[in-house]
Amino acid sequence: MESTNAELDEFLKPLPAIDPDLVLRLAKELGATFRRLSAESKEMFLPTPISESILRPVAGKDLGRFLAIDIGGTNLRVGFVELLGDTIPEERADGTTTKTNGSITSETEEPRLRLLLEQKWAIGNHLKNENAESFFSWIGRNIATVVRRGVEEFGLPADADLPMGVTFSFPMVQRSLSQATLMAMGKGFAITSDLDLGQLLQQGYNTHRGTDIPPISIAAISNDTVATLVSLIYQFKAAEHQKAIMGLIVGTGCNATVPLKLSSLHESKRPESVSVLPGQEDDDVRIAVNTEWSINGSAQPLRDFGLISVWDRELDEAGESPGFQPLEYMTAGRYLGELARLIMVDYMTSSLRHARNSLPTKLLERFSLTTTFISHFYPGSCKGPLLDLLRTEFPDFPWTTEHANALHRIAKAIELRAAGIIAAATLGLLMCADEIPITPAQEDKRQELIVGWTGGCIQYFQTYLQDTQRFMDEALGLFYRDAGVEEAPVRVLLVPCHDGGIKGAGILVPAALASQET
């Protein structure tokens, strides 16, 4: 049975149309919610004990080669980050120089850093189900592999501590920059909370170290969004009217970081020590905060604006921790493909009247429709015609053009809602940080607030990135028109900051060591 576009429109009504007015209203509500959570929540808005002044690298301390690891929800990355400062890197034999593999530095500029000896390992489900000792032993073995190469290629001494920067893409409580206590990890990991991350890494590494490679010391630990902000600040050569202000990740998961005043945090969350420049004792010093904005404290505004559909609730209830990350279920790569599958199966059975047992067996399996697949599922895709893609991915079913078009419409509706939510959450977080002025610009050039983003989901899923930028531009324009300001004095600009996790971990090592010295 075939349906009309009108019938499909009616079916998709639980995924509401997103417009600038809705984005702005949601941004204001999220901004107020974020203020409350920063002051009250013990699960969200978790500080990294490093001030904004240290985030912006200390002059003369940003050169050298530093060991860094990035423990993500999908991959482990280990390598050396070579910080070049403003020096010109050594030329290759062919006369060319190494370009950064991020996207901040233009092709006409020399990079300020480069990755060396980097290796990546997938974190499979069998590893996620391991206990902490086994999982961190696996991590330690891989760190030892890269360090051993560093000894061979760089001549690292085997008897001197090798400081290491760590990026950890999960919630944690930090009382100092080099120490962290794990919270519930989510994303399918079975590891329990209240474990010392640095100690686990040391033990895992020592199990595989031997006497031929140096011991490691944990110099700095940060969340992946904090590391992305650190990487953005270091690499982005901001003009006078620009400010690198926020790190945003929309990949397997979704999270953001921004510097907030220490006084805005609940006293119980304030670190015992904060890495600052000499003379900084003010309670209003800004500190990097890992928002964990997808945890359940952000759910109420989404419910208030009717953004949580019956399919979102079905996805949530089938997960490992129902109610845990509602914003992430609606915006991140781990879940959007599964959301599309649930909607597509519902549409085929309730609207098209296909018997459930007549559908492809694979389509009835959880997570069988991947975010990667629907990311490129649009007319004119480089992957090929939509009907051919659908027939190849889910064979043994009489697929039609109408089926393919419906799946594209579903994917696009999911993407537009996700882009609107991320746009609103980004603006809301900047409102919470008092970075959105309400007065007209005093200069010819309006200020640009730079948000460094990373993650395959926002980069490749339909037009996620472009729609997020468009929603922010239009919502900010509406915000200032409502305030009687003809031209917005500020623009929030999304700038790519790829590999921010591992790069930021490396950048933080000399900053942390310099702070300890002073």
pLDDT tens-digit readout, 312-357: 999 999 987 888 888 999 999 999 999 999 999 999 999 999 999 9
Please give the pLDDT value at position 444: 59
Contact by Cβ (8 Å): 498, 102: yes
pLDDT tens-digit readout, 221-246: 998 999 999 999 988 888 889 999 99
pLDDT tens-digit readout, 428-462: 999 999 999 876 655 556 899 999 999 999 999 99
Report the number of distinct structural domains present in the chain. Answer: 1
Give the pLDDT band (50/70/90) at residue 271. low
Give the pLDDT band (50/70/90) at residue 97. very low
pLDDT score of 366 more than 70: yes
Asked whether residue 383 is assigned to any structural domain, the reply reads yes
Q: What percent of the chain has pLDDT over 70?
A: 86
Mean pLDDT of 64-77: 93
pLDDT score of 59 more than 50: no
Asked whether residue 184 is assigned to any structural domain, the reply reads no
Can you give the CATH number for the domain in which 381 is found?
Answer: 3.40.367.20
Please give the pLDDT value at position 92: 40
The Cα–Cα gap between 43 and 227 comes to 19
Q: Which residue has the tokens 């309670």?
A: 283
Buried b (16+ CB within 10 A) or exposed e, 492-503: bebbbbbbbbbb
The Cα–Cα gap between 490 and 241 comes to 9
Residues pairing with 449 in the sheet: 243, 492
Asked whether residue 141 is assigned to any structural domain, the reply reads no
Global pTM value: 0.88
Mean pLDDT of 392-396: 95
Higher pLDDT, 71 or 4: 71
Mean pLDDT of 151-156: 95
The Cα–Cα gap between 257 and 245 comes to 9
Q: What percent of the chain has pLDDT over 90?
A: 64
Give the pLDDT band (50/70/90) at residue 55. low
> 3-class secondary structure for 238-293?
CCCCEEEEEEEEECCCEEEEEEEEHHHCCHHHCCCCCECCCCCCCCCCEEEEECCC
The Cα–Cα gap between 113 and 102 comes to 10
Query: What tokens appear for 289 in the block?
Result: 């905060």
- Strand duo 447-454 + 64-71: pairing: unpaired
Give the DSSP per-residue string, 399-446: --HHHHHHHHHHHHHHHHHHHHHHHHHHHHHHHHTT-S--S--SSSSP
Please give the pLDDT value at position 96: 40
Average pLDDT of the residues of the chain: 87
Please give the pLDDT value at position 106: 46
Please give the pLDDT value at position 213: 96
Give the pLDDT band (50/70/90) at residue 185. low
Please give the pLDDT value at position 296: 82
> 3-class secondary structure for 436-456?
CCCCCCCCCCCEEEEEEEECH
Question: 517: which residues sit within 8 A by CB, 6+ positions away?
Answer: none
Please give the pLDDT value at position 322: 85
Asked whether residue 329 is assigned to any structural domain, the reply reads yes
Contact by Cβ (8 Å): 288, 494: no
Please give the pLDDT value at position 349: 97
Query: What tokens appear for 140 in the block?
Result: 């330690």
Please give the pLDDT value at position 62: 67
Q: What is the DSSP letter of 218?
A: E
Higher pLDDT, 370 or 284: 370
The Cα–Cα gap between 301 and 326 comes to 11
pLDDT score of 61 more than 80: no
Q: List, edge to edge, every strand of the sheet that includes 64-71.
A: 113-122, 75-83, 64-71, 162-168, 216-223
Query: What tokens appear for 400 in the block?
Result: 């039609």
Asked whether residue 138 is assigned to any structural domain, the reply reads no
Contact by Cβ (8 Å): 373, 338: no
Please give the pLDDT value at position 34: 96
Q: Which domain holds residue 382?
A: 5-47+297-420
Asked whether residue 399 is assigned to any structural domain, the reply reads yes
pLDDT tens-digit readout, 467-517: 999 999 999 999 999 888 888 899 999 999 999 999 999 999 988 887 666
Question: 361: which residues sit within 8 A by CB, 6+ positions away?
Answer: none
User: First and final CA of the chain: distance in angstroms?
Assistant: 73
Please give the pLDDT value at position 100: 40
Mean pLDDT of 43-55: 78
Please give the pLDDT value at position 170: 82
The Cα–Cα gap between 469 and 457 comes to 15
**Residue 277 zone, left/alpha/beta (φ > 0; ψ -120 to 50; rest):** beta
